[in-house]
Amino acid sequence: MTWYHAHAVARRGDLARILIWGMLGLLTLAFFRVQVLGSYRYRLASEGNRLRPIPIPAARGLITDRNGRVLAENVPGYAVGLIAASSDSLRAALGRMARTAPLVKLDSATIEATIRRFRRRPYEPVVLTRDAPFELISWLEERRMLFPGLVIQAEPKRRYPYGSVTAHLIGYVDQVNERELASTKFAGAQVGTLVGRDGLERQYDDGLRGEDGRRYVEVDARGRTVPSGAVGSGLAPKQGTTVQTSIDIDLQEFVAGNFPAGSRGAVMAMDPRSGQVLAIYSSPSYDPNAFIGGIDPQLWNSLRRSDAHPLIDRAIQARYPPASPWKLAIAAMAIRRGIVNLDSRMPIPCRGGLQMYNRYFRCWKQDGHGDVTLAEAIQFSCDVYFYQLGLKLDLNNVLQDGVSLGFRERSGIDLPNEIQSSYPPSTAYFNQRYGPRGWTRGGATLNLAIGQGENAQTLANMMRFFAMLANGSGTAPVPSLVSKTSGDIRSLGIDDSSLVGLRKALQNVVEGGTASRSRIADLQIGGKTGTAQNSHGPDHGWFIGFAPVDSPHVVVGAIIEFAEHGSAVAPLVTRIIARHLLGPGADRGLDFQFTLPADSAPEPIPTIQPDTAVITPPIGGPRE
């Protein structure tokens, strides 16, 4: 028994030694795995607790005109942020800054919004301002000990050298918000990334934005920055791509400088052959530089609530009755259908108006134009002629052809938020709006025939139509500012001789018709005046022209609200044409004075609102 007992004890001892050495081996392997094989991962985790990432915003790409002149650039700026260990410590730091920093505007609402942003991303610095003046930076640097989590870094700041001259064209930028970060609209954007909000800044934001970089700062256990500065490896930002536009900034400045002071409206100039936009201007305007770093709430509210609507681009976001420039569309429809030619006359001469049932539709010229041809009716803008031409076409054909020519569409220009033009697709529209007995085919046809009634167009869409008239092929590409915009080529569908005849008739408008005061001796200009009826005040004035008539290189159009008649607008357009084709000083011999009528109160314009763009059909034609 003694031997057996001793042997059992020895066996248990051997087993215990094996277990102990096995456990020591496993511990050794575990320590080796953690301290040697896994050291890199744990070192990164440690560094992550010690280092805080600081985004470095990328400089946005430049925007230039056709000759490389900068329209949107980047200048040095400073951003101020705070790193905090908790929302309580951040609140204390913000309160201390609000009490001691005279240049920092931190009210209770701003502090709460800042804390909400911090809670969503507690391990990133919360940005207080991205456009800090140098005085604030100096003040904070001198008192850095009061704000342990303070982060100040140089960042590129957007600047628009031409200010209000290019405001609607270029747009502005602002920080992306949380809702947008959750969508795919701004893929790749981070908190604080500047994104385009309007104009070309928004249209080409993906390329302009670039790629943000990243650096790291060291923090202690309480989340306070350590004075050692930036440490660790970072990622350099990549600037966005440069966008070169077709804009001629000299012409753009000329347009803005010659637009009647205090007036509302828009001007657009384009090459009808390529569709390249040379200038596009809307008045009143605003200074996009005031939006840098965040706009003052009072200024923003004043812009939004202004009766003049300065934030609206009237070239693409306002609709007006197209008035007499629309007569060229009626003429083209009738020629295409073989109803008339340029020498055709109407059965009833113009004696100042046309009686239809119990209504009398006036011509703008009270004593009438007499017996005129289509070419002469265009030259003198005879309403009575086009009343009868509209009846010959028939309402169904007027509606069908108007839709096919694109008058129910957008122009397609590469700018955001262009609204769709308004035009009835069929007679069912009138039945739905007024009821089957609330309108007459004759009244609707006569009003549509002279560009009034249920027809509201943007300046950009009318420009594309006149590009069809100007081009020898009778076609027009989509207007474009940067790249060739995709879209259907619109066509008048009439023969070359008729196109030449229409252009000649439009030349006669300038040389001896309703725009004769705007004639320039050294240029053959064709164009059409128009007066858009406005139930809220004086009528609006149109003029769209092109030159040289035999081979147009430029089309320029203008709409000025409250101008009373189109002949007041024509000299502005011909002056712009002369400036573009003949160079500086070519317009000096042209007398051009424009003032608003004394009784034109600055009322809100209903045609800029999508739901009020359709004007009730008036009786009779307006003054030219």
Would you identify the CATH topology of the domain 52-244? Penicillin-binding protein 2a (Domain 2) (3.90.1310)
Domain 249-293+312-612, CATH class in plain words: alpha beta
Q: What is the pLDDT of residue 111?
A: 84
Distance (Å) of CA 381 to CA 7, 327, 451: 128, 8, 12
Q: Name the token pair of 376.
A: 């002469």
- Helix, strand, coil % over all residues of the chain, rounded to 5: 40, 20, 40
Secondary structure tally for the chain: helices H, strands E: 20, 19
C-alpha–C-alpha distance, residues 166 and 315, integer Å: 13
Read off the pLDDT of residues 465-522 as tens digits, 9 standing for 90 and up: 999 999 988 999 999 999 766 667 889 999 999 999 999 999 999 999 988 888 888 8
Q: What is the pLDDT of residue 525?
A: 96
- Report the chain's terminal Cα–Cα distance, integer Å: 134
Q: Is-contact 149 78, C-beta < 8 A?
A: no
**Average pLDDT over the chain, rounded to whole?**
84
Q: Is-contact 337 398, C-beta < 8 A?
A: no
C-alpha–C-alpha distance, residues 454 and 447, integer Å: 8
Enumerate the β-bridge partners of residue 360: 355
Read off the pLDDT of residues 544-595 as tens digits, 9 standing for 90 and up: 999 999 999 999 999 999 988 778 899 999 999 999 999 887 655 554 444 4
* Higher per-residue pLDDT: 543 or 53: 543
* Structure confidence at residue 616 as a pLDDT band (50, 70, 90): very low
Q: What is the pLDDT of residue 79?
A: 83
* Higher per-residue pLDDT: 95 or 509: 509
State the DSSP code for 324. G
DSSP class per residue in 21-57: HHHHHHHHHHHHIIIIITHHHHHHHHHHHHEEEEEEP
Read off the pLDDT of residues 152-193 as tens digits, 9 standing for 90 and up: 888 888 999 999 999 999 999 988 877 777 777 777 777 778
Interior angle at CA 411, CA 407 and CA 417, nearest 5: 115
Peptide bond into 284 cis (omega under 30): yes
Compute, in degrees rounded to 10, the torsion defined by CA atoms 413, 417, 418, 420.
Answer: 130
* Structure confidence at residue 610 as a pLDDT band (50, 70, 90): very low
Where in the chain is CATH 3.40.710.10?
249-293+312-612
Read off the pLDDT of residues 225-248 as tens digits, 9 standing for 90 and up: 565 555 556 788 899 999 999 999
Q: What is the pLDDT of residue 106?
A: 78
* Higher per-residue pLDDT: 564 or 103: 564
Sign of the four-CA dihedral 521, 522, 528, 530: negative
* Structure confidence at residue 319 as a pLDDT band (50, 70, 90): very high
Q: Is-contact 554 581, C-beta < 8 A?
A: yes
What percentage of the chain exceeds 90 in pLDDT?
Answer: 54
Q: What is the pLDDT of residue 368?
A: 94
- State which H helix or E strand residue 89 sits in: helix 87-100
Q: Is-contact 503 509, C-beta < 8 A?
A: no
Q: What is the pLDDT of residue 272?
A: 95
Average of pLDDT values for 411-427? 95
Where in the chain is CATH 3.90.1310.10?
52-244
Residue 437: how many CB atoms within 10 A of its CB? Answer: 7
Q: What is the pTM of this model?
A: 0.83
Instruction: Tell me the residue length of the chain.
Output: 624
Average of pLDDT values for 615-620? 33
* Higher per-residue pLDDT: 274 or 46: 274
Q: What is the pLDDT of residue 50?
A: 60
Say which residue the tokens 């128009």 belong to. Answer: 530
* Higher per-residue pLDDT: 608 or 353: 353
C-alpha–C-alpha distance, residues 453 and 420, integer Å: 17
* Structure confidence at residue 82 as a pLDDT band (50, 70, 90): confident
What percentage of the chain exceeds 70 in pLDDT?
Answer: 85
Residue 469 CB partners (closer than 8 Å, separation 6+): 328, 332, 492, 499, 502, 503, 506, 546
